[in-house]
Amino acid sequence: MLRVKGLTKRIPGGPTILNDISFEAYEGDFIAVKGSSGSGKSALLKCLALQERWTSGSYKFNGKDVFNDGWATKIKVKRQVAYIEEKPFLYPEKSGLKNVIIGSVSQTPAWRRWTGKMRSDDYMGAMDMIENRGLLDKAHVLAKHLSGGERQRMAIARALVHGAKVIVADEPVAGLDPHAANNVLGELKALCKEKGIIVIAVMHQGEWAERYADRILGLNKGNLVVDVYGRRLTEREKTLF
């Protein structure tokens, strides 16, 4: 379980980016985050993944107090909450397989990022995860030659190989054609149902959020103004963010 209470993020001497955000997420939840440009959507995801600092608020992850239970808890949470950007970074001159094994900076020791070396069990585990994503034929293709949808699914495989329990994805289907978008969102939804992964994803398109999400959070100028369980949004709700 992930519990956020009073999350506030202010720019020193500047605006409030997030204002007193509180919500909970449970095993298997697929949560869509919506809002206009500048509403705080990306900042929320980065705060949850500990990519950005909080000004105030409490954060509990599986009963652990992230900010008060010591640095070891914070490191563990950072490794279990995978942040996937709109255009996931993959090392362009390395294969999909090596990108999955190497992982992101917060997931992997520096020596492995530098050398790209892998053990046999790492290899098999990564190949299984890639195959489960329908990308077996892309495992040895250089990342720079992967399509947008393939890069997203390879990033999901990477997160799972490195033990992610929560995936926060910033516009995971932006710029993808409808077929590729359905593949990515269907993959994330299946992970929620089959593995109990929590997915929190920023979605611009309302129809995707209504179709796939179990819950929709709406942000407006850093405030949480809508929090409803998965369904079609009313016209009034749509005007709030």
User: What is the per-residue pLDDT across 192-217, written as a single tens digit (0 to 9) for each?
Assistant: 999 999 999 999 888 899 999 999 99
Residue type, 45: L
Residue 211 is part of a domain; what is its CATH number? Answer: 3.40.50.300
Instruction: Count up the domains in the chain and report the number.
Output: 1
Distance separating alpha carbons of residues 44 and 40, to the nearest angstrom: 6
Distance separating alpha carbons of residues 214 and 224, to the nearest angstrom: 17
> Within 10 Å of residue 142's Cβ, how many Cβ atoms?
16
User: What is the per-residue pLDDT across 15-41, written as a single tens digit (0 to 9) for each?
Assistant: 999 999 999 999 999 999 999 999 999
Tokens representing residue 12 in the block: 């020193």
> Within 10 Å of residue 72's Cβ, how many Cβ atoms?
9
Distance separating alpha carbons of residues 224 and 220, to the nearest angstrom: 7
Domain with 12, as residue range(s), is 2-239
Q: Which pTM was predicted? A: 0.88
Strands (E), the chain: 2-10, 16-25, 30-35, 56-61, 64-65, 81-84, 166-170, 198-202, 215-220, 223-229
